[in-house]
Chain A
Amino acid sequence: MTLITFLVSAIKFGMVLLFGSTGETITEKSGHLNLGLPGIMCVGTACGCIAEAIFFDLVGGRRGMENLAFLAVLIPILATLIGGALMGLIFSFLTVTLHANQNVTGLAMTTLGVGISDFLIASVDGYKFTAGAKFFNTSLPFADDLGAFGKLFFSYGIMIYLSIAVAIATSLVLNRTKVGLHLRAVGENPATADAAGINVTKYRYVATCTGSAIAGLGGLMFVMDYLNGNWEYVIDAIGWLCVALVIFTTWKPVFGIFCSIVFGAFYVAAEYIPGISLASKEIFKMLPFLVTIIVLIMISVKNKKENQPPASLGQSYFREER
């Protein structure tokens, strides 16, 4: 049974990462290396928590929330999406419109985002959004009747299924639709996309905002589901894990479902190995980054065009320059 609990925990944590990496993949497919992801996830999460706290006040506490369980989940999600998208908008404005360097902007966004989220969370009463956690945790009623199978597949809150759905949908959009084709073109070769009549600026703005919004959901799920509504100041660390995960998935969201579980397993493994020292636990948390480095080496050695990052990743595009 420990194995099942371990897997469940790995999947739960993995799906937190999956939101982040799917979001970042969408952003990176447009050619934006958004290193502001950790900060964006922080802000998105904080917005969700605050929305939940406000909702708590409006409906008159726990009892009121019980009656509006659906809204208790939907409102934080929407708030997170808006918060993440706004951060994405700032990033896009700085890099696309003002031509700022993407790396510098991203790192600044991370610092900014962590600060904003700390400030926001410090200004609300924690118990108010903690009250909403149980709605995020609600699993399908028949999960317990199905034994190990049920536990492995149906014991989760809504967010986990949402993250898988988003990853699959993203993959379909990227590979099967015109919009996806255009987005990939923008990330590979913006000059070409521009000459083909694709609005590079629009695609970069929209992709970055969408990606940031989705990434924020990862943080929300981490706090409301994985931590049962307790805010911990580690969301930025999860953000960095997501940035690494994107490389591990070789920019393929569906493959990311598997990869994120692997990352999740590494991250929670230490908890399930008896008699391990506190220091050794930290080594396990390092494993995802080690794996990322190995993957980077592998894709660089194999040098297959299809597994490479978008060709213009991290490069700004200005049309009138020759």
Chain B
Amino acid sequence: MNTVALELKNISKKFGDKYANKNVSLTLHHGEILAILGENGSGKTSMVNMVAGIYYPDEGEIFVDGNPAVITSPKDAFGYKIGMIHQHFKLVDVFSASENIVLGIKEPGKFKLSEVDKRVAEITQKYGFQLNPQKKIHEMSVSEKQTVEIVKVLYRGADILILDEPTAVLTPQEIEKLFEILRRMRDDGKSIIIITHKMNEVLSLSDRVAVMRKGEHIATVETKNTNEKELTEMMMGEKVELNIERSEPKNLVDRLVIENICSKNEEGLPVLNNVSFTARGGEILGIAGIAGSGQRELLESIAGLLPLESGSIIFNRPKKGLPVSFYHKSFTEVLALAEQGKFHYEDGTPVSFDGMHHAQIRELVNEGKILFNEDDVTNLRDKTPLEIRELGVRLAFVPEDRLGMGLVGNMDIVDNVMLRSYRRGKSVFLDRDNPHDLAMHLIKELNIVTPDEHTPVRKLSGGNIQKVLVGREIAAAPSVFMAAYPVRGLDINASYGIYNMLNKQKEQGVAVIFVGEDLDVLIELCDRIVVIASGEITGIVDARSTTKEEIGLLMTKNRLEGGSENE
């Protein structure tokens, strides 16, 4: 039954003067899983959005079952039995699963929610989903929400399902479960389009692969006749070095000492439990764990965004035996510290400035004859981000929620860069020239694809948004660089760009903390890996000698004892 379910002919779509899709022709057969592979901004999502009725193509035709189809709205798409599961779930938070599922359907007869519940239960049973139809969306986990999305399109009787990066938010077990269900649907005669970045998923799940590059359809190949290397080459258009360069860590210093930190969430459940580790300047510390094990809370507590129950976060500036300089301390601070006996002379005798002229003191300090007695340690716990910055601690934080926490979507690159620097200077008016220069530098240096520096960042593609964010944070010359899933949703080229940036930071002596999800990357990129499970550290391993199996074991170590299995 190799008949064509869906056919795109010479589809083009422009946003502004830029082609999102150019002359795309594609076919989808009945009862097959077609994977669409491509870099970020290669037009995968905009192409399927045209099939789903979110966008309307500027040129070209769409055929469903051989008949020309005009799809101007999602409603039309449902009419052609096309259903899309978006990357960002389109669900109403305060509605139950059933209410969301039945939304927008026109059925004759009386509307009764209990009937809907029943039919939802039938569908979930048929394909093996686990879902309570009456549960409210805001009480659900990500994977449950995705299940609602899939059941929603099945409820509408969709024969063509489009899934936009469905695995990005799931744990490996959940992914396996999802694939199981997708295969069952294919065997039931449904046609499935799946967009993904992950090569292993493409190879294990799909029947055919369509590769897209820069808005164009490069080729569609049978999955069994291809391999990872060939697909990557098609996707990139050039050969890509797959090894991440990793230098040996040098001049290690204990930069950030985390001791026994604990934190609870709104429901009073522990999200961080006695977490202790040390991040060292000059190395990349990886943090591995199943999504939602406390990685986000950990970084947020270091950044001063999350209150802690107990524990300390010590920021360490090793100073013992180093000369005092006015670069770090003001004159009055130096006097105060001397009084507290924090300095000594080169020969070890304690310093007292009693009876000295200011000029004399300045001279002694400038000549480097006054040394620190001890290290300069600061506890960052319970400090706001601003207080932390005023203490002279340069923390850079790349949060996983780029447009929510990291950048302001409606502002342009210059303004976003300025968010880091607008406090500088004494003038009433903002300094716009330096941020502008920096923005131009970032665009050039990191190859940010944007019409100009004054385009709102939300209009850029995911990878370019991330480049703006990471670039800005690095430009602030941090001493601790924290990044949560910095390569999530990025294509291979952009990912490597980020890895290189992190490595460069490491070589400059920055303590880099990298929260990642791809174990291969963690093992190749990091020096040490902290494994976290249910808010507890289950192990700290040397990345050079560890194996995926070891980390995988640690990641799932005490999941069964903790009560949070529905996470």
Contact = CB atoms under 8 A, between A and B. Distances in A.
Interface stretch (B73-81, B222-230, B473-481, B515-523): B73-81
Nearest to A192: B90
Contacts of A306: 94
A196 B100 CA distance: 9
B115 to A, nearest CB: 12
B104 A193 contact: yes
Contact of B136 (A185, A196, A197, A305): A305
A320 interface: yes
B84 interface: yes
B58 interface: no
B92 A185 contact: yes
Given A178-B111, A188-B95, A198 B104 contact: yes
Contacts of B78: 197
A269 B75 CA distance: 53
B90 A198 contact: no
B362 interface: no
Interface string B110-148: 010000000000000000000000001010000000000
Given A195-B90, A305-B93, A311-B93, A181 B458 contact: no
A188 B94 contact: yes
Interface residues of A, number: 25
Given A195-B54, A195-B84, A319-B54, A189 B104 contact: no
B358 interface: no
B9 interface: no
B99 interface: yes
A198 B100 CA distance: 12
Interface in A163-203: 176-178, 181-182, 184-185, 188-189, 191-199
Contacts of A191: 90
Nearest to A178: B111
B369 interface: no
Interface residues of B, number: 28
Interface string A289-322: 0000000000000000110100100000001101
Contacts of A181: 95, 99, 102-103, 111
B103 A198 contact: yes
A185 B75 CA distance: 15
Contacts of A185: 92, 95, 103-104
A189 B73 contact: no
Q: Which of A178, A196, A308 has its CB near the most chain B CB atoms (within 10 A)?
A: A196
Contacts of A320: 55
Contacts of A176: 111
A25 to B, nearest CB: 15
Interface in B230-264: none
B458 A196 contact: no
Interface in A182-238: 182, 184-185, 188-189, 191-199
A194 to B, nearest CB: 7
A305 B90 contact: no
Given A189-B92, A322-B458, A196 B55 contact: no
Given A194-B74, A322-B459, A182 B90 contact: no
A195 B74 contact: yes
Nearest to B459: A322
B281 to A, nearest CB: 39
B186 interface: no
Residue among B55, B73, B136, B459 with max Cβ neighbours from chain A (10 Å):
B73
Contacts of A194: 73-74
B557 interface: no
A173 to B, nearest CB: 11
B317 interface: no
A211 B95 CA distance: 23
B456 to A, nearest CB: 10
Interface string A32-58: 000000000000000000000000000
A195 B53 CA distance: 8
A193 B152 CA distance: 13
B409 to A, nearest CB: 10
B75 A192 contact: no
Contacts of B458: 322
Nearest to A188: B92
Contacts of A193: 92, 103-104
A184 B55 contact: no
B86 interface: yes
A193 B397 CA distance: 35
Contact of B103 (A192, A311, A322): A192
Contacts of A197: 73-75, 77-78, 104-105
Interface string B38-58: 000000000000001011000
B54 A192 contact: no
A189 B93 contact: yes
Nearest to A310: B94
A93 B193 CA distance: 38
B393 interface: no
B111 A192 contact: no
A188 B55 CA distance: 22
A188 B93 contact: yes
A320 B55 CA distance: 7
Contacts of A305: 93-94, 136, 138
Contacts of B100: 192
**Which 5 A/B pairs are nearest by Cβ-Cβ distance?**
A197-B75, A196-B104, A192-B90, A197-B104, A196-B103
9 contacts: A182-B103, A185-B104, A189-B91, A189-B93, A192-B91, A197-B78, A198-B104, A305-B94, A320-B55
Given A193-B92, A197-B104, 12 more contacts: A176-B111, A181-B102, A182-B103, A188-B94, A191-B90, A192-B92, A193-B103, A196-B103, A305-B93, A305-B136, A306-B94, A308-B94
